[in-house]
Each structure stands twice: as structure tokens, then as C-alpha cells.
Amino acid sequence: MKKRVFIISLIVLQFSHLLSFSQSFDIPTKGAGISFGNSAKFTGLRFNFSDHNIEKINGVNVTIWAPKEETFLGKTSGILVGLPLTGGGEVRGISIGGGVMASQSMHGISIGIVGAGAGGNMAGINVGGIGLGTGGSLSGINIGGVGLGSGGNMSGINIGGIGTGSGGNLSGFNVGGIGLGSGGDMVGINLAGLGMGAGGSLKGISFAGIGLGSSSDIVGIQAALVGLGAGENLKGLSVAGIGLGSGNTLAGIQVAGVGLGAGNTVSGIQIAGVGIGAPEIKGLSVALVVGGGEITGITVAPAYLQIEEDGHYTGLAVSSCTISKGTFTGVGIGIFNYTRSLKGIQFGLLNYVKDNPKSLRLLPIFNASF
């Protein structure tokens, strides 16, 4: 009887120490096996009410209550389960809790019912029921029920229910329910319900419900229901419901419901519902109104075609009204054709060539250089 009382007293004494969050009851030895309490260093299966000042944990760690400040000072590896749960300077393994966090980095599987995050990098499978974020890079399969973000680069499969963003580069399969953005380059398959933007270049297959843009280049297949724009070059297949443009060049196949243009050159196949404009246009251009300084190729402008002062047109032009304030080389077909200098032929109801002798400047049906 006395032996039983002694054993019970010993157990009660051990658990009284556990409640102070400073010691633990370990089986079979201290530091390994099964631990009950706030063991600072342990390998094996560990149960604790709330963690505090932990140095290194390897194995399975189960907690119930929110950890105290400065919970983990060292490394944690294995399986961590808690509600919520805070990992150490470096956490490796499986972390599951209401909220999963690490002061430095997390590697492996991290699942937070509410959220998950790390002050440094996160790599592996990372899921936050509401939010997922890291101050460093984020790589692997990353899902945030509402938001997903990283202070550094983000790579892999990245899905945010409302928004996804990275302070650095964003690469892989990237989805933002409303918005998607990166401070650097964005590469891969990029989908946003409303808007998308990259501080660097945007490359791959990109779609946004309203608009997408880049401060640098956009390359690949890109579409937006409203607008699409690049600060530098826009290359590939580009489709916008209203307008698209670039600060430098547009190259490839461009389709816009209203208008498209570039600060320098538009080349390839361009189709717009209303207008196309650029200092230099090359290729096939189709719009109600087309205007530029140097235009080469085939132009179909049912309403109006204009070549700017001292500009040059080379190719085939079909327009109700063609006004060339420079040199027209090729064939012009329309109702009224006007050019200062002609190297070719005009067909239309009225055709005017300013360089011709006075009696031959305005002719019906056709005109040429006489």
C-alpha cells in the first residue's frame, strides 16, 4: 500500500512540474521516447499543453493551446500537431494546427486550419485555411484559402482564394481569385479573376478577368476581358476586350475590341474594332481607323487611313479615305485617296496626287505619278 502511495505521489509531483511549463515527464528516458510536458530537447512522441522556450524537437509534437512568446529557439523536425502551433527557428516535417508558424523556415508539409507562415522560407506542401505567407521564399504547392503571399520569390503551384502575390519573382502555376501580382518577374500559367500585374516581365500563359500589365515585357499568350499593357514590349498572342498597348513594341498577333497601339513599333497581325496607331506599323493591320508614320504591309481601314507628316506607306491599302502627308508606295484602293508623293497607283472615286502637274492632280477612277 505504501508503495502505491509513493508511486502516485511521484506521478503527481511530476505533473505539477509540467504545469509550470518548465519540465517534462519523459518515458523511458529524459530526452527520448514519449514526453508529457514542456521538454526543451526531445526525440520521439511529445505531448504538451503549451510550448515555451523550446530548443530542438525531432519526431511528433502535439500541442493544445497557443504557445508563449519566444516559443522555439532552435530546430524542430518530424510531425507537429497543435491548435495553434508555432515551430522553431527551423521546422522540418509535418506541421498541422489551427495556426502553423515558424520564426525562420519551414520545410515539409505545413497545414494551418486558420493560417500558416514563416519568417524565412517555406518549402513543400503549404496550406493555410485563411492565409499563407512567408517573409522569405515560398516553394512547392502553396494554397491560401483567402490570401497567399511571400516577401521573396514564389514558385510551384500557388493558389490564393482572393489574392496571390510575391515581393520577388512568381513562377509556376499561379492563381489569384481576384488579384495576382509580383514585384519581380511572373513566369508560367497565370490566372486572375480580376487583375494581374508584374513589376518585372510577364511570360507564359496569362489571363485576367479585367486587366493585366507589366512594367517590363509581356511574352507568350495573354488575354484580358478589358485591358492589357506592357511598359516595354508585348510579344506573342495578345487579346483584350477593350484595349492593349505597350510603351515600346507590339509583336505577334494582337486583337483588341476597341484599340491597340505602341510607343514605337507594331508588327505582325493586328486587329482592332476601332483603331490602331503607332509611329511604325508592319504587317497586316485591320481596324476602322489606322494611323502611323511608317506603315508597311497590308492595311484595311474601312473608315480612315492616315500617314503622318513626312511619313511613308509601302504596300496595299484599302480604305474609304486615305490621307498620306508623305510618300505612298504601292496600291491604294478606296473612295478618296490623297498623297503628297505617289510611287504606285491609286484606285477610287477621287484620287489626288499633290506632286503631279495641276491638271493631273485630281483624277477619277485612278491616278498615278505623272
H, E, C per residue of 311-348:
EEEEEEEEECEEEEEEEEEEEEECCEEEEEEEEEEEEE
Q: How many CA atoms lie within 13 A of 183 on its CB side?
A: 10
The span from the CA of 59 to the CA of 343, in Å, is: 84
Mean pLDDT, rounded, for 268-272: 98
User: pLDDT for 23-34, tens place per residue?
Assistant: 788 888 888 889
| pLDDT of amino acid 17 | 46
Q: How many CA atoms lie within 13 A of 32 on its CB side?
A: 1
H, E, C per residue of 145-184:
CCEEEECCCEEEEEEECCEEEECCCEEEEEEECCEEEECC
For the chain, counts of helices (H) and of strands (E): 2, 33
User: pLDDT for 200-212, tens place per residue?
Assistant: 999 999 999 999 9
Q: Which three cell numbers stand for residue 323?
A: 490621307
> Which residues, listed in sequence order, are joined to residue 250 by a DSSP beta bridge?
234, 266
Band (pLDDT 50/70/90 cuts) for residue 44 is: confident
| pLDDT of amino acid 45 | 84
For residue 12, pLDDT over 50 is answered with no
Q: Is the peptide bond before 279 cis (omega within 30 degrees of 0)?
A: no
| pLDDT of amino acid 144 | 95
Alpha-carbon radius of gyration of the chain: 34
| pLDDT of amino acid 41 | 82
The span from the CA of 306 to the CA of 158, in Å, is: 47
User: Among 73-82, 207-216, 296-305, where is mean pLDDT lowest?
Assistant: 73-82
Band (pLDDT 50/70/90 cuts) for residue 76 is: low
Nearest by Cα to 165 from 83, 157, 176: 176
Is 99 strand, coil or helix? strand
Nearest by Cα to 285 from 273, 297, 303: 297
User: pLDDT for 138-172, tens place per residue?
Assistant: 999 999 999 999 999 999 999 999 999 999 999 99
| pLDDT of amino acid 148 | 95
What sign results for the dihedral spanned by CA atoms 175, 179, 184, 189? positive
Kindly tell me the burial class for residue 45, based on how many C-beta atoms sit within 10 Å of its own C-beta (0-12, 13-18, 19 or more): middle
- Cβ–Cβ under 8 Å, residues 64 and 50: yes
Backbone dihedral region for residue 295 (phi beyond 0: left; psi -120 to 50: alpha; all else: beta): beta
Q: Which helix (H) or strand (E) holds 275?
A: strand 275-286
b/e map of 122-141 (b: 16 or more CB within 10 Å)?
bbbbbbbbbbbbbbbbbbbe
The overall average pLDDT reported for the chain is: 87
The span from the CA of 191 to the CA of 172, in Å, is: 11
For residue 173, pLDDT over 90 is answered with yes
| pLDDT of amino acid 35 | 87
**Overall residue count recorded for the chain in this entry:** 370
- Cβ–Cβ under 8 Å, residues 157 and 171: no
